Structure 1
Amino acid sequence: MKKVNLIILFTLLLGCTAYMAYSSQNGEIEALPALSAPKDLPDFTLNDINGKANSIHQLAQDKPTLFIYFNSTCHLCQDELGSISKRIDEFKDYNLIFTTVQPKEEMIGFVEELGIKDKSFVHFLLDADMNVASFYQIRSVPSIFCYNSKKELVAEYVGITEIDQLLENLSRGK
């Protein structure tokens, strides 16, 4: 299992590096075109960083939800989640679900540094069996999906995405 995780991690890092080289223009990084995500928020049950099983639908409730698939060692993910954490209070009317394939031990320090894990609307889930990654066909991180209050896809992005754009999509999803 560790060998598979290392292969996946290497692939994700290679993808992030290639993406940065491809999309750098005048020092700015733009989101790539969407991947055609499932039109409805899937209802997987995953463990959070405390080991508690959580249903994605129960966490999303009836609020617009930002679902982000990330890797704590990815520079782009670090930047995106860091930007979100700086403006976390603007997301209080929504649910944020951050999901990763990484083992808890590899990403817990990153989650702690963000300083947002204790917010009631922020959830960190572990996709240990890669069910969510397979379902979404995650090819690069961060992969970002905005869902409305009915759990329908509103927008999707790969790579760094402007926080204002994410907030706008979430506000339209009420």
Structure 2
Amino acid sequence: MKKTNLIILITVLIGGAAYFGYLTQIGTPAEAAITLTAPSELPNFTLNNINGKATSIHAAAGDKPTLFIYYNSTCHLCQEELGEISKRIEEFEDYNIILTTVQPMEEMIDFANGLGIKDKNNVHFLLDSEMKVASYYQVRSVPSIYVYDGKKQLVAEYVGITKIELLLEKLGAD
């Protein structure tokens, strides 16, 4: 009887550990885009940049493939994702990166300074103080990541941590 209970307990523990391992894998770096629900064209809202200057999203994107990320600096997933991008920022030099948040300007500036990419020409921090962009995209979770080609057409969208290689692949698909 004790042996049977021990076998059942070990089986349950191994099964639970395997299931937990599976859940942690599906909750980490995205492997494939979910069904595209974001706007098929990059919207052209005008928001204040990190210097307080009104900047249109289209002007920031220019005619280059663009990585548009909606984030919150207090979100650990956003910190991790944007930290990885900042470490590999040279690989994004042919693309524009637009980082948008609803947080107060001071918090956006502090976060941008911490990332060390604030002064890169291809990186644009924009403040969505009225939540127009968040409402338009129906952002429910951050980081929300959208990849647009040079013609401002949606290529892929992701929620949560996404592998840098996948983002670079989708940006280069133009």
Q: TM-score, normalised by structure 2?
A: 0.83
Is this contact kept in 2: 1:41–1:57, CA < 8 A? yes
Q: Is the 8 A contact 1:34 1:157 kept in 2?
A: no
CA drift of 1:107 comes to: 2.8
Matched, 1:54 2:55: yes
Q: Distance in 2 between matches of 1:120 and 1:140?
A: 27
Q: How many residues align?
A: 152
Alignment of 1:18-97 (within 5 A): 24-25=23-24, 29-31=28-30, 33-34=34-35, 36-97=37-98
Counterpart AA for 1:126? L
1:133 aligns with 2:137: no
Distance 1:146 1:27 in 2: 21
Q: What is aligned with 1:162?
A: 163
Q: What TM-score results when the alignment is normalised by the length of structure 1? A: 0.83
AA at the equivalent of 1:107: M
Aligned to 2:10: none
User: Do the aligned partners of 2:145 and 2:159 also contact (CA within 8 Å) in 1?
Assistant: yes
**CA–CA distance in structure 1, aligned partners of residues 29 and 165 of structure 2:** 14
CA offset digits 1:88-145 (Å, max 9, x no partner): 0000000000000101122322110100010000000000000000000000000000
Query: Which consecutive unaligned segments of at least 5 residues does structure 1 have?
Result: 1-20
Aligned residue type for 1:29? T
Partner of 1:13: none
CA deviation profile, 1:59-104 (whole Å, cap 9, x unmatched): 1111000000000000000000000000000000000000001011
Given that 2:50 and 2:108 are in contact with CA atoms closer than 8 Å, whether structure 1 keeps it comes out as: no
Query: Is the partner of 1:98 in helix, strand or coil?
Result: strand
Letter in 1 for 2:37: S
- Could you list the runs of 4 or more consecutive aligned residues of structure 1 that deviate by over 6 angstroms after TM superposition? none
**Structure 2: tracts of 5 or more residues without a match:** 1-19
Q: Distance in 1 between matches of 2:23 and 2:60?
A: 35
Aligned equivalents of 2:135, 2:27: Cα separation in 1: 30
RMSD in angstroms over aligned alpha carbons? 1.8
